[in-house]
Structure 1
Amino acid sequence: MIRPVAHRLLLLRHCEAEPARGNEFGSAADQARPLTQAGHMMARRRGESMRRAGLVPDLVLCSPAMRTRQTYAGLLPFGEGARPEIRIEPTLYLAAPDELLARLRATSDSVHTILLVGHNPGLPALARYLNGVERALDSDFALGTLATFHVEVEERESIALTWKALGPRTAWLESFSQN
């Protein structure tokens, strides 16, 4: 017997960050860029909208850049009793879509909702790759954009084909919200 199992993928681009300081343009300087005041407010509004929509992740995968970590922190709290596992992973910093996909595919079958907090151009490219609905995702994600996908997978007896089966047109866009 095959029965569908619902999973949800949330792709969130970081909120507005300060520009690089002075003439520092390297990776370390870029990763150290904090959110602006407007970026902090944007993250809090995004968190409020996620709470209203009942979007509570089981797992948060976050780039190590300060702007992504501060964006995630601004979303909190998700609700009473919600304690998602958070993983700050260096490989997610400016990751290409295939790297993001590989990380998602390595997720445990017991995780039902993943929030991935990252950067352009990897997030929008991944969203376009996974999108299984007619609605197009032609543009890059503006700052603070959240794309919500419903992932329907098959479960055969005790073997669940979940995140490891993620591929082209396997996720269905539920919402696309720009701040």
Structure 2
Amino acid sequence: MIRPVAHRLLLLRHCEAAPAAAGDFGTKGDLARPLTEAGHKMARARGESMRRTGLVPDLVLCSPAMRTRQTYAGLLPFGNSARPEIRIEPTLYLAAPDELLARLRATPDEVHTILLVGHNPGLPALARYLNGVESALESDFALGTLATFHVEVEEHESVALAWKSLGPKTAWLESFSQN
């Protein structure tokens, strides 16, 4: 009999970013938007709260936007020896919830905690889809919002599945924190 191990999904919206350069309304300008000083401070505070509560990812999936990469960098370090695998993935930039879900489902189940650093409206839509009914999730995530989910492990023919079976009501909101 397989003993299920806790799996967690952490959804983090990037912190406050500067507007795009004057007149640059395209993707290139949006991708290049850095965090403001307040955004850097917000990311450091979020990292400190994650350390206090023991939220240490095994894998970080991050949009390639500068604001998401700088948000993740502001969280560091997670702990003494914690060195999560970091993947900057172009498909996560402004991804729709179904794209985010497909990426999460492709994760090996040996990964117990995933931190996904991304954008509105994809992150809150994914959170509502997975959890179902939480009133805290009725609106978009404010800048720097972290939603923490416990992911159910499904046992099927003596194989424990966590990420592959991710779907509606398979992840339960543990905490919802806005800066």
Q: Same fold (TM over 0.5)?
A: yes
Query: Structure 1: any 5+ residue segments left out of the alignment?
Result: none
Q: Secondary structure at the match of 2:86?
A: strand
Q: Retained in 2: the 8 A contact 1:43–1:71?
A: yes
Q: Structure 2 counterpart of 1:31, which letter?
A: L
Other-structure match for 1:116: 116
Other-structure match for 2:49: 49
1:68-107 matches, cutoff 5 A: 68-107=68-107
Deviation at 1:132, TM superposition (A): 4.9
Other-structure match for 1:32: 32
Q: Structure 1 counterpart of 2:165, which letter?
A: A
Q: Structure 2 counterpart of 1:23, which letter?
A: G
Q: Retained in 1: the 8 A contact 2:2–2:158?
A: no
**If the length of structure 1 is used for normalisation, what is the TM-score?**
0.96
TM-superposition CA deviations, 1:5-53 (whole Å, max 9, x none): 3200000000000001110010010000000000000000000000000
Other-structure match for 1:7: 7
1:136–1:22 Cα change, 3 Å: closer
Give the paired residue count.
Answer: 179
Query: Structure 2: any 5+ residue segments left out of the alignment?
Result: none
Other-structure match for 1:66: 66
Deviation at 1:162, TM superposition (A): 1.3
1:38–1:136 Cα change, 3 Å: closer
TM-superposition CA deviations, 1:55-75 (whole Å, max 9, x none): 000000000000000000000
Deviant stretches of 4+, over 3 Å: 1-5, 132-136, 155-158
Q: Retained in 2: the 8 A contact 1:133–1:172?
A: no
**If the length of structure 2 is used for normalisation, what is the TM-score?**
0.96
Other-structure match for 1:138: 138
